[in-house]
Amino acid sequence: MAAATIVHDTSEAVELCGTHGLYLKPITKMTISVALPQLKQPGKSISNWEVMERLKGMVQAHQFSTLRIAKSTMDFIRFEGEVENKSLVKSFLACLDGKTIKLSGFSDILKVRAAEYKIDFPTRHDWDSFFRDAKDMNETLPGERPDTIHLEGLPCKWFAAKDSGSEKPSEDVLVNVFEKFGDIRNVDIPMLDPYREEMTGRNFHTFSFGGHLNFEAYVQYREYAGFIKAMNALRGMKLMFKGEDGKAVACNIKVSFDSTKHLSDASIKKRQLERQKLQELEKQREEQKRKEKEAEEKQKEEERKQKELEEYERERKREEKLRKREQKQKDRELRRNKKQLEKMQAEEQKKLQEKIKLEERKLLLAQRNLQSIRLIAELLSRAKVNFFDISRRLDRYLTGDMTLAPISAQNRESDLMICLDPFQP
Instruction: Say if residue 207's pLDDT is above 50.
Output: no
Predicted pLDDT of residue 135? 87
Predicted pLDDT of residue 163? 79
Which letter, b or e, does each residue of 290-311 get, where b requires 16 or more Cβ atoms within 10 Å of its Cβ? eeeeeeeeeeeeeeeeeeeeee
Class of the domain covering 124-263 = alpha beta
Predicted pLDDT of residue 208? 47
Alpha-carbon distance of 382 to 206, in angstroms, equals 153
What rounded mean pLDDT belongs to the chain?
84
Predicted pLDDT of residue 174? 95
- Residue predicted with more confidence, 67 or 374: 67
What DSSP character marks residue 160? B
- Closest residue by Cα to residue 80 from 119, 26, 121, 130: 119
Instruction: Say if residue 403's pLDDT is above 50.
Output: no
Alpha-carbon distance of 329 to 399, in angstroms, equals 99
- For the residues 110-138, what does the mean pLDDT come to? 90
Q: For residues 152 and 216, is the Cβ–Cβ distance under 8 A?
A: yes
Alpha-carbon distance of 378 to 372, in angstroms, equals 9
Note the CATH number of domain 28-116: 3.30.70.330
> What does the pLDDT look like over 82-93, one tens digit per residue?
988 888 888 898
Q: Domain map of the chain by residue range?
A: 28-116, 124-263, 283-355
Number of Cβ within 10 Å of residue 223's Cβ equals 13
> What does the pLDDT look like over 144-200, one tens digit per residue?
999 999 999 999 999 998 877 788 899 999 999 999 999 999 999 998 888 777 666
Confidence band for 419, pLDDT divided at 50, 70 and 90: very low
Predicted pLDDT of residue 394? 67
Strands (E), 247-382: 248-251, 254-257
Alpha-carbon distance of 19 to 1, in angstroms, equals 25
Alpha-carbon distance of 9 to 66, in angstroms, equals 14
Confidence band for 23, pLDDT divided at 50, 70 and 90: very high
Within 13 Å of residue 408, how many CA atoms lie on the same side as its CB?
A: 3
Confidence band for 66, pLDDT divided at 50, 70 and 90: confident
What DSSP character marks residue 246? S
Instruction: Say if residue 241's pLDDT is above 90.
Output: yes
- For the residues 344-349, what does the mean pLDDT come to? 87
Within 13 Å of residue 364, how many CA atoms lie on the same side as its CB?
A: 6
Q: For residues 4 and 212, is the Cβ–Cβ distance under 8 A?
A: yes
Q: What is the percent of the chain where pLDDT is above 90?
A: 36
Q: For residues 143 and 131, is the Cβ–Cβ distance under 8 A?
A: no
Alpha-carbon distance of 45 to 192, in angstroms, equals 50
**H or E element in which residue 315 lies:** helix 265-399
Instruction: Say if residue 407's pLDDT is above 50.
Output: no
pTM above 0.85, yes or no: no
- For the residues 109-130, what does the mean pLDDT come to? 91
Name the phi and psi angles at 40, rounded to 5.
-90, -30
**H or E element in which residue 12 lies:** none
- Residue predicted with more confidence, 293 or 366: 293
Fold equal for 28-116 and 124-263 = yes
Predicted pLDDT of residue 420? 46
The CA R_g of the chain, rounded to the nearest whole Å, is 67
Alpha-carbon distance of 252 to 247, in angstroms, equals 17
Note the Cα 284 to chain centre separation in Å: 30
Dihedral angle, C-alpha 62, 109, 46, 99, nearest 10 °:
20
Q: Which amino acid is at 381?
A: S
Instruction: Say if residue 363's pLDDT is above 90.
Output: no
